[in-house]
Structure 1
Amino acid sequence: MPINHEHQLALLADILSNQQTDCCGSVAECEQIERLITSLRSNEQIDQNILPILEEVHRYSEQGVTASNLDTHIHSHQNQLSQWVDGINNLS
């Protein structure tokens, strides 16, 4: 059974929050982020104001998949991760 967009946004915020807190993550998490965002972009029920955040997170995730050191990539985006999580929580 597919999850609705509220659950997708909560899952996205959880993954990003964990990466921000732990300063580490996996390529699989980045790929999951990309799948969530692809699904959310096609959902007309989401608040359109969240789309810029989703675009930024998608770029971050794409870069994470190909980063030579994912933990360094995550560490260098600590401020953005916090802002994205706050934005997602406020707009969802």
Structure 2
Amino acid sequence: MSLNHQDQVNLLQDILNNHLEDCCGSVSEYEQVERLIQSLLANQSVPQEMEPLLHDIYSYSQTGKNSSDLDQHINAHQDQLSQWVHVINTLS
């Protein structure tokens, strides 16, 4: 069963929300975020205004998965995570 774009956005939001609230994450979560964003960017149903946000989150994910301290990376991006979750709420 494949996920539609709204399911993918919801999953992305859940992962970001977990990072925001738990202040911890895993390499596999970052990799999943990257796959979700690649799929969303390829989907014509995703609103255009969401693209810059997706690119920012993708960069966050790439930097995070290569970080020597995942939790510190998440802590350093708390403001962005909060903003991203808020924007996703308003756009989806």
Q: Is TM-score (shorter-chain normalized) higher than 0.5?
A: yes
User: What RMSD over aligned residues (CA atoms) do the two structures have, in Å?
Assistant: 0.4
Q: Give CA deviations for 1:22-42 in whole Å, capped at 9, x if unaligned.
A: 000000000000000000000
Question: What's the TM-score, normalizing by structure 1?
Answer: 0.98
1:23 aligns with: 23
Q: Alignment partner of 2:15: what SS? A: helix
Q: Alignment partner of 1:24: what SS? A: coil
Q: Alignment partner of 2:45: what SS? A: coil
Q: Identity of paired residues, percent?
A: 53
Which residues of structure 1 form unaligned runs of 5+?
none
Segments ≥4 residues shifted beyond 3 Å: none
CA drift of 1:64 comes to: 0.5
2:54 aligns with: 54
1:43 aligns with: 43
Which residues of structure 2 form unaligned runs of 5+?
none
Question: What's the TM-score, normalizing by structure 2?
Answer: 0.98
Matched letter for residue 71 of structure 1: D
CA drift of 1:89 comes to: 1.3
Within the alignment, does 1:73 sit opposite 2:52 as a pair? no
